[in-house]
Structure 1
């Protein structure tokens, strides 16, 4: 029986890898204007931001390694100029997977914890690591654009940066905002439910009301949708905190669910159950 289970697990893993490789091979990278010279690139993995200027290109996140050449072609299709700078909003592979490919073309900027976490991976390549790191933030100037990088602590991970293009008035949130549905909070990598909410509120408070938003996952959006996201998070935290204080078990909390208003926010990676389990794991400690 054990042998059958092991064989089944291996077959399942191989099929998953094969399907993932096929998805990458078949994937398209789409380009959508945000504002000014800033564009959003979409495909498998996290959303990319690109600043296109006559003096060169700036790239925010770079998805998975097999997509690198497609990403480069999409960027060149916007403006056929040299890549000048790369920014990693955090360390997850769907945002840093093409680092090694692009690092030969431009320096990578990221919070110091991004370099630390990437370098701790057994299979990492030195070329894939950020070469400019910071504690709180840094500003990059390219052509007539001012790109403000701000680190916010203990949110999605412990190395999150949001990127604000001041002239274009475009915000790239990294995974501090999931327009697509419930957020993924990496508790094993310094993430925190309450910290995440605090970070969303910080972005809401410190960006203009008419800012155009590139979320980590999901559609190009605006502040009203990020405000609704913050409201959902606050509701979730209060609901689970009250349930835990009342002595309810995880299973009871799962059985009650999020309620009709937010059930539709389940998506492929973060279901209602996974979101509630994240809340319970973080809030009961």
Structure 2
């Protein structure tokens, strides 16, 4: 496993609807997942980097203040120009660096709804806003680089209403964005079109595509695999079934939020992240009750 560490002084704190980052220095760690694909971990969502025959491809770009650290890290891996930058969804810890990476030589790609939501947030004209994706798709998009096939596909109402996964067929690496929080409870953004059922369906779609050798880049957490994702889906389905039954029995939101027994067998492993057990119970209740 290849490790690269770069320290970079903080010059800007970037706030999103669900995360606030204020650090004195930023560290970028690189995991080598194949001969051509790397996972870059810093502050914000995990970044994917694919080195093609003549150009590089990037998936997500973390917070605005991480851009210089990421650029230095990428320069230490390859001198090939960055041609495409995928946004897996619209949250600022995955798109905050868009303006810093967007250029005449780099095209930002995302689902249609990502562009719409970023435009609404930016409140600026499209032509004057480098934050916005320049190429969008509604369902699927395929790119080819040498013998590699790069498949971007939309999953409906999962983490948000604009989620996309990026799969590298030959290298057998899947970037799931925030449709997967490895070893922690997920953040399902109900206000941005996410849903508990859509989140589970997204995982099942991924499982149909991958095999036991697939390397998974989650939106947050360490690199994962099919077996871990299968276990994660079973956990989500169990929570969904239990809370659905609670709703049928007329239990209130407060009763479900305070019922630690619903998630107790998963809390030790998955409850230490941004989303605490009470919050995941609340999220599932609101999503399922409003179905």
Output the TM-score relative to the length of structure 1. 0.90
The equivalent of 1:173 in structure 2 is 176
Over 3 Å counting, the alpha-carbon distance change for 1:59 and 1:167 in structure 2 is same
The equivalent of 2:5 in structure 1 is none
Q: Distance in 2 between matches of 1:185 and 1:22?
A: 23
Q: CA deviation at 1:75?
A: 0.9
Q: Distance in 2 between matches of 1:238 and 1:110?
A: 33
The equivalent of 2:117 in structure 1 is 117
Q: Distance in 2 between matches of 1:135 and 1:16?
A: 29
The equivalent of 1:9 in structure 2 is none
Does structure 2 retain, via aligned residues, the 8 Å contact 1:55–1:143? no
Q: CA deviation at 1:268?
A: 3.7
Greater Rg by CA: 1
Alignment of 1:264-283 (within 5 A): 264=268, 265-283=270-288
The equivalent of 1:8 in structure 2 is none
Does structure 2 retain, via aligned residues, the 8 Å contact 1:146–1:167? yes
Alignment of 1:190-205 (within 5 A): 190-205=193-208
Q: Distance in 2 between matches of 1:259 and 1:65?
A: 35
The equivalent of 2:265 in structure 1 is 261
Q: Distance in 2 between matches of 1:138 and 1:39?
A: 21
Over the aligned positions, Cα root-mean-square deviation in angstroms equals: 1.7
Q: CA deviation at 1:263?
A: 1.1
The equivalent of 2:35 in structure 1 is 36
Where 1:81 maps in the other structure, the secondary structure is: coil
Q: Summarize deviations over 1:264-284 as a string: whole Å, max 9, x none.
A: 211342000111110111111
Does structure 2 retain, via aligned residues, the 8 Å contact 1:36–1:167? no
Q: CA deviation at 1:36?
A: 3.0
Q: Distance in 2 between matches of 1:142 and 1:30?
A: 26
Does structure 2 retain, via aligned residues, the 8 Å contact 1:40–1:50? yes
Where 2:144 maps in the other structure, the secondary structure is: strand
Does structure 1 retain, via aligned residues, the 8 Å contact 2:112–2:162? yes
The equivalent of 1:91 in structure 2 is 90
Q: CA deviation at 1:41?
A: 0.2
Q: Distance in 2 between matches of 1:144 and 1:163?
A: 16
Does structure 2 retain, via aligned residues, the 8 Å contact 1:37–1:51? yes
Which structure 2 segments of 5+ residues have no match? Answer: 1-12
Q: 2:163 aligns with which of 160, 164, 167?
A: 160
Structure with greater proportional helix content: 1
Alignment of 1:1-285 (within 5 A): 22-23=22-23, 25-104=24-103, 105-122=105-122, 126-257=129-260, 258-264=262-268, 265-285=270-290
Over 3 Å counting, the alpha-carbon distance change for 1:174 and 1:21 in structure 2 is closer
Output the TM-score relative to the length of structure 2. 0.88
Q: Summarize deviations over 1:13-64 as a string: whole Å, max 9, x none.
A: xx997xx6651x4111111101230000001110000002341210000000
